[in-house]
Amino acid sequence: MDRRPSRCGRLVALGTMTLVLLVSAGCTNALFTAMYLIKGNSIPAEFKLPKEKSVVVVCRPVASLQYCNARVDQDLAHGVSTLLKQNLPKIKMVDPRKASEWMDENPWQEFLEVGKGLKADLVVGIDLEQFQLYQGQTLYQGRAITDIKLYDCKTGEILFRKRPPQTVYPPNRMVQTAEKQEAEFRQEFVHVLADQVARYFYDHDPYLDFALDSKTIE
């Protein structure tokens, strides 16, 4: 009986040895590449939105943000809505402009009020507790804190809740204000924040975050 290891077995053993050597040598980037190739490029959503349901995204900022970062709540809600629509084509997204108009024209305090007012099945409610762009007068580094809830508009039940750690952009460096306009940096940061909120609801590539530092210098 031939007990020599199969070709497949030898390849698996070689791959394992390579990962061990990469870790011991401190080759972090190469290790991430190897993991990416082995594990694939997608992890499942933490909560998958039901198909054919109508969904509205609502962002509610703390009072102080309404003055120093006007409209950031609307921009974030619009960004999350757009990403959900792109990645979950079988759900029915309420137009964020329609949601903004309803909120401007009607008094409301709770996310469910907006969802019911727009006759949505589900509402993604985002409490924006922190949003800042600067670390000093001449340096950008965005920081934000969110609290995310998904409500069933018929029952009032919270189907999903997530309080992520503080979002920092870029995570490992700061950007000189001379390098780009505030509006451009703000737009980048809102997009990053919207992506990190929306991805809880669809399968996504977890390794994209490793490129966030280089994104600011594209």
* CA-CA-CA-CA torsion sign (129, 57, 199, 150): positive
pLDDT (average), residues 190-202: 97
Q: Measure the N-to-C terminal CA separation of the chain; round to a whole number of Å.
A: 59
Tokens of 96: 């964020």
Other beta carbons within 10 angstroms of residue 133's beta carbon come to 20
Task: Kindly give the pairing relationship between strand 175-176 and strand 92-93.
Answer: unpaired
Q: How many helices (H) and strands (E) does the chain have?
A: 8, 7
Measured N-to-C along each axis, helices 7-25 and 28-39 cross at an angle, to the nearest 10 degrees, of: 150
E strands, 94-196, in order:
122-134, 139-152, 158-162, 167-169, 175-176
pLDDT at 65: 75
pLDDT (average), residues 42-50: 93
| pLDDT tens for each residue of 128-169 | 999 999 998 999 999 999 999 999 999 999 999 999 999 999
Domain boundaries, the chain: 7-39, 54-215
Peptide bond into 206 cis (omega under 30): no
How far does CA 106 lie from the centroid of its chain?
29
Which range (45-59, 80-94, 128-142, 196-210) has the least confidence?
Answer: 196-210
| Distance separating alpha carbons of residues 164 and 112, to the nearest angstrom | 22
Report pTM: 0.79
pLDDT at 211: 62
β-partners of residue 58 are: 125
**What is the fold, at CATH topology level, of the domain defined by 54-215?**
Rossmann fold (3.40.50)
pLDDT at 212: 67
Which range (21-30, 64-73, 139-148, 208-217) has the least confidence?
Answer: 21-30
